[in-house]
Amino acid sequence: MGKRATKAHYIIKKDQHGFPVNTPKYKTHFWGISADQRAAPAPTHPNARKSARTGLEQSCNRPFTSPHLKESKLLYGYPRGPYTWHKHFPIARKGLRQSPINIVPRKAEYDDALTGIPLWVFYREEDDVMLENNGHSLECQITQLGYLTGGPLGNKLFRLAQFHLHWGADDTRGSEHTIDWKQFAAELHLVHWNTKYGSFAEAVHKSDGLAVLGVMIKSGVENPVFSVVSDNLGGLIQPHSEDTIPFSLDPTDLLPGDIRAYWTYEGSLTTPPLFESVQWIVFKEPVEFSPSQLDALRRLIDSDGNQMQDNFRPPQPLKGRQVRASFQ
């Protein structure tokens, strides 16, 4: 088992199955999760990790699997980048629920139904951290059972598949979502799939197939949990490289302290094929990474042989969608 990375400012008490018990700060509810699901072990098949990674790559995490996108040159590089995606993916312009968006807090509609079933997150600790430089982002594959439910998802149960990040060349830009047109230095995405479907690949193109948590990241103090990642990127500088870090990491510890305050809307993947299949949940409270942690991301090399920077899509038109807020 890998060495434990801990977040200093809170401890989540867990039951005999590793699920959190009610605490003053984090009250948890097992909406729609059976005792068997809570006790279920992580996959033990020798090819389980490889299969999980392959399934994700084939479905959405490698946008250049399209014959039109042989490499990432069409992804973010000027003068190509997101402004040209519509040539091969018409949904980029014609779609009705594209992401990311600019969130205008004063125009967001408070919805008390979002607090009727509180947003509930449970992730199990990863014994080892499986990282990949996929040529356009840094991605961590999840092998343990982890779930998201409640809030805008109601009683639907979504399973955590991976998390990845978007960042800028400096601290003035990097996030995909903007808040009143303010961009943060980076944005963390935790990607989940609806368990009513048989797999991530089956869910990824369904209108209710995915749920993504968006966490804004600003430059500040060092994040001790993300240090497990940022301190171990030496073997991931080159594109399409993979490494397994012998430290444990609980993705819960990457979330902001208050997950009750968020905005939510119906959107899409932010990279090709841009499927309109995502229920976005963007937290109000940002987290902090130190300048050195952000610089560690910026030193990665993308598929074009350049420093991996500014790997974000600009905000897309709302086209009549209503952003809802869980807070007033």
Q: Give the residue numbers annotated as catalytic, written as ranges.
A: 136, 197
C-alpha 98/C-alpha 121 separation (Å) is 25
C-alpha 138/C-alpha 106 separation (Å) is 33
- Nearest Cα to 5, choosing from 103, 127, 122? 127
Looking only at the bridges linking them, the beta strands covering 129-133 and 241-245 are: antiparallel
Coil, helix or strand at residue 187: strand
Residue type, 284: K
Q: CA angle at residue 214 from 276 to 80, to 5 degrees?
A: 60
C-alpha 301/C-alpha 244 separation (Å) is 18
Strands (E), 230-286: 241-245, 247-248, 262-267, 278-283
* Helix boundaries (H) for 180-314: 200-203, 227-230, 291-298
- Work out whether the CA dihedral 191, 246, 42, 236 comes out positive or negative: positive
- Nearest Cα to 243, choosing from 252, 251, 256, 234? 234
- Nearest Cα to 89, choosing from 281, 275, 226, 290? 275
